[in-house]
Amino acid sequence: MTFPPPRALAPAERTVSSRRAPGGGPAVRASYDTVAEDDAELVGQGMEPEATWERAVLRAFAESVAPGGRVGDLGCGTGRTAGRLRGLGVSVLGVDLSPQMLRVAARDHREVPFRTGDMTRLPLAPGALAGALAWYSTVHSPDEQVEAMAAEFARVLAPGGVLCVAFKVGADGSAPAGWLRHAYGHEVRLPVYRRPVDALCALLGRHGLTETARVVRGPDGGEPSPQGFVLLRRGARVAGSAS
């Protein structure tokens, strides 16, 4: 995933800094509330802007989930991945921080239920999901927040449940690789993190999520970094989760 698509962001609009991220949630929500309508229009509601590997990973994820099980698209944005999973026969619900992104998602994907929520404290019961998808929704969050999200992913997944994370790959995830200050013609303020695959898997592993597969593809279409996709399975026992 190019974030945002290259045609929507001129190189001069990018400002790269090594400053650490601010608090996270409110700034991320405000930025996505601002771009919601244009995000839906520019990124599109299918997966057309995505490469073959993205579609393959989503299909592998969908086929890994227990038949009939419910999947949470966590940080679902305007619902394009939720819509694709639904098209693959998966029972899916979407959760996002941004009410405006969800307004567009509900408008464009009427068959999918959506609810407002923060991945660091998900509005879902323990063990409620057979699968969880975090498709580029951790890319604006520092490690300490991703740690809290990982605990929540493990809590809401049933034993044996599958997590799929799409993210940007980089050498050092401890600080933002850059800041997005303009997107889709709007001013935003979003740190962008790129993480080593091993580091992310180790972080998730601390919460009882065991890696089953990883895919890394090279940059495509002007993307500044490789893209990573990991599938993990929740073990039988996770602290604070249904067993």
Ligand X SMILES: C[S@@+](CC[C@H](N)C(=O)[O-])C[C@H]1O[C@@H](n2cnc3c(N)ncnc32)[C@H](O)[C@@H]1O
Nearer to ligand X, 76 or 177 (CB): 76
Residue 7's Cβ-side half-sphere holds a number of Cα atoms within 13 Å equal to 7
Distance CA 133, CA 5 (A): 21
Tell me if 137 contacts ligand X by CB under 6 A.
Answer: yes
Nearer to ligand X, 101 or 238 (CB): 101
- Give the chain's end-to-end CA distance (angstroms, integer): 35
Supply the minimum distance, in Å, between the C-beta of residue 110 and ligand X.
18
Tell me if 53 contacts ligand X by CB under 6 A.
Answer: no
Burial 115-133 (b: 16+ CB within 10 A, else e): eebbbbebebeebbbbbbb
Among 76, 151, 164, 177, binds ligand X (CB under 6 A): 76
Sequence-separated (6 or more) residues with CB below 8 Å from residue 31 = 180, 183, 188, 189, 190
Would you tell me how many other CB atoms lie within 10 Å of the CB of residue 159?
15
Tell me if 120 contacts ligand X by CB under 6 A.
Answer: yes
Nearer to ligand X, 32 or 61 (CB): 32
Among 98, 225, 227, 241, binds ligand X (CB under 6 A): 98
CB of 169 closer than 8 Å to CB of 225: yes
Binding mask 215-234 for ligand X (x = CB under 6 A): --------------------
Contacting residues toward ligand X, per CB under 6 A: 3, 25, 28, 32, 75-77, 80-81, 96-98, 101, 118-120, 135-137, 139-141
